[in-house]
Amino acid sequence: MSSGIELTANWLRRAKSAVVFTGAGISTESGIPDFRSPGGVWSKYRTVYFDEFCRSADARHEYWTQKSEAHVEFAAASPNIGHQTIAKWEEQGRIRGVITQNIDGLHQIAGSRDVLELHGTAREVTCLDCNWRSPVDPLVEQFRATNEVPLCPQCGDGRLKHATVSFGQALPELVLNRAHQWCLDADLVITVGSSLVVYPAAGLPEAGKRSGAKLVIINRDETGLDTIADMLIPDSCGEALAAIDAAL
């Protein structure tokens, strides 16, 4: 067992307010491609920006085409040992909760209860006009069957969008503020599978570090915060988390 794993386990064992921050890397181990992965759903389509979605029926159709194809990957995915370990730590009271950049809902499926989804969730849709929300599955099925963008059943003609943050759309302010406070209060922040280059999300672990928390980065590749980290663990997310858990 590496000294980095042992030291991280020791920090987690002694932490009073630990937070886990996750990115795409933890979910690629469940078969969900990174947004930037060549050959993934998103590499085949042009980006539909939020303002386009709001004003153009054609853009909304293109958006729903993309999201419906991606939904197949999300629906087939299951939590891996990394998600399960994080949920176990929350149940044991070792961590306050999870801040995630992911939209796949795998943390909740694994059993995590307090999850702050910075970029929303792909498992629900919301109406931009009346704020109605619903599980996504029946509406994706409707779109795939009819090739017509569904309208809001509550207000009649509202624009239905997956409850995720699109390019050009602001992050949910309440979620972002709560995540920021978690990091300010933390004495340990463990980031897992994130390149830590997309702001404002990447600023959260950075804020924790600058407020006195230990910063552990688990990621195979270099990240934007490597230079300020207390520990770098360049292993797969699931293997590293399981090893830390075994050392507790």
Round to whole Å and give the CA distance between 115 and 24.
Answer: 15
Round to whole Å and give the CA distance between 172 and 114.
Answer: 16
Residues ≥6 apart with Cβ < 8 Å to 12: 18, 89, 94, 95, 188, 190, 244, 248
Q: Does residue 127 have a known ligand-binding role?
A: yes
Tell me which of 71, 83, 107, 119 is the catalytic residue: 119
Q: Does residue 54 have a known ligand-binding role?
A: no
- Edge-first strand listing for the sheet containing 133-135: 133-135, 120-127, 160-164
Round to whole Å and give the CA distance between 153 and 173.
Answer: 27
- In a 3-state reduction of DSSP, which class is residue 7? helix
Q: Does an H or E element contain 38, and which? A: none
The answer to whether the CB of 42 falls within 8 A of the CB of 63 is: no
Which of these, 185, 213, 242, 188, lies nearest to 12 by C-alpha position? 188
Note if 119 is an active site residue.
Answer: yes
Q: How do the residues of the chain divide into helix, strand and coil, expressed in percent and rounded to 5?
A: 45, 20, 40
Annotated binding site for Zn(2+): 127, 130, 152, 155
Hey, which residues are catalytic here?
119
